[in-house]
Structure 1
Amino acid sequence: MLKRAVCALMVVLTFCLSGCVTPTSGLVPFVDSKDGYRFLYPNGWLETKLKDGPDVLFHDIIEPSEIVSVVISKLESVKNLQDIGDANDVGLRLQKRVIAAPGSGREAELLSAEQRDDNGRPYYLLEYAVKRTNGESRHDLVSVSANRGNLYTLSVSSLESRWTKVKDLFYRVANSFSVE
């Protein structure tokens, strides 16, 4: 009788505790109402201010090479993301002009490019393998969208050796990116 009661209690606890895990578990919201974007970043990461750098940058205090940043740039000749091209086109353009720009000391390979829509706004999710001239291999996940003549780019990056450990978390961060 006691064994059955303990087993029943264990089953109930299992169901109750599994309900506590949500897609935002372990993540903290960041909202920039001035520039009109938001995203979730890992709990315990610190914001770093850089002069002439990204609009915002957070890094892990334990693994400082793991970062999430947002860059806002002006769109010159187009008004929206689709005018630039599909996810693969934009991914290749970013690869050549930003991720592994000439003279940057980096080589990059676009591993995947996909589109998601959020409230009618397209977002391109791009995944890169990046090698630096010092031999360091990194993995970057980039979410891109456009609004009011601006291109918004959220980038989450880690060492390749840590990618399998942080992949799911970084996908949650990248998919949380939203432009108002």
Structure 2
Amino acid sequence: MLKSFFVSVLIILSLCLYGCSTGVSGLQSYVDSVQGYEFLYPNGWVQVEVKNSSEGVDAIFRDIVERTENLSVVISSIREGESLEDLGTPSEVGYRFLKKANQEARNTRKTEFISADSQTDKNNQTYYILEYEVELPNGQERHNLASIAVSRGKLFTFNLSTREPRWTKVENLFKTAVSSFRVY
């Protein structure tokens, strides 16, 4: 009787602790089943209102302590039936992405393209992973990671950004978050 009581308590305690876990250390889950995407984001981040944001911005999160660290999800329309590969290689898409960002900023910032890669998930969905640095007009340097995917005739861009001096502290966490981005 005492043995079964301890086993029951152990099972209940295990279930309670499992329910409190976030799955991946330092990250928690966000799911938007209406727009059809999900990702992991750092603990201590909060969602921000997107009411007055640029066109296509669907979600914004930022760190409550390091307020300049942020992530965003932008959804854009593309031609019917167009795939990510139809838009170009990861490098071609990355250069076009940065060229457009620089034009929108009216050449007030300098952008350095670091890397571009492609990964495919278990559902055969392709994602382009881009890494780049940005120098803002005030001299602040930022480090950015992005994951780009196409689903249901829409282009999804997931972007994470931090100040360059913090990059080495958050690099692994940010890379895990960017790799977690999924569309469906």
Amino acid at match of 2:125: R
Residue 75 (1) aligns with residue 78 (2)? yes
> How many percent identity over aligned positions?
43
SS in 2 for 1:101: helix
Residue 47 (1) aligns with residue 51 (2)? no
Distance 2:112 2:157 in 1: 18
1:80 shift after superposition:
1.0
Residue 105 (1) aligns with residue 108 (2)? yes
Residue 94 (1) aligns with residue 97 (2)? yes
Residue 157 (1) aligns with residue 181 (2)? no
Distance 1:73 1:172 in 2: 24
TM normalised by structure 1 equals: 0.84
Match of 1:127 among 126, 131, 146: 131
1:161 shift after superposition:
0.7
Distance 2:46 2:22 in 1: 22
Amino acid at match of 2:117: E
Task: Show structure 1 runs of 4+ deviating over 6 A.
Answer: none
Structure 1 spans left out of the alignment, 5+ residues? 1-20
Partner of 1:142: 146
SS in 2 for 1:93: helix
1:104 shift after superposition:
5.5
Residue 170 (1) aligns with residue 165 (2)? no
- Which deviates further from its counterpart, 22-31 or 40-49? 22-31
Deviation sequence 1:59-94 (CA, Å, 0-9, x none): 001100000110001114761100010100000010
Distance 2:103 2:43 in 1: 32
Amino acid at match of 2:103: A
1:51 shift after superposition:
1.6
CA contact 2:73–2:158 (8 Å) conserved in 1: yes
Amino acid at match of 1:117: T
Q: In the comparison of the two structures, how many residue pairs are matched? A: 159
TM normalised by structure 2 equals: 0.82
Amino acid at match of 1:73: S
SS in 1 for 2:103: coil
Distance 2:138 2:78 in 1: 33
Match of 2:63 among 44, 49, 60: 60
Amino acid at match of 1:85: G
TM-align CA RMSD: 1.7
CA contact 1:79–1:148 (8 Å) conserved in 2: no
1:105 shift after superposition:
2.0
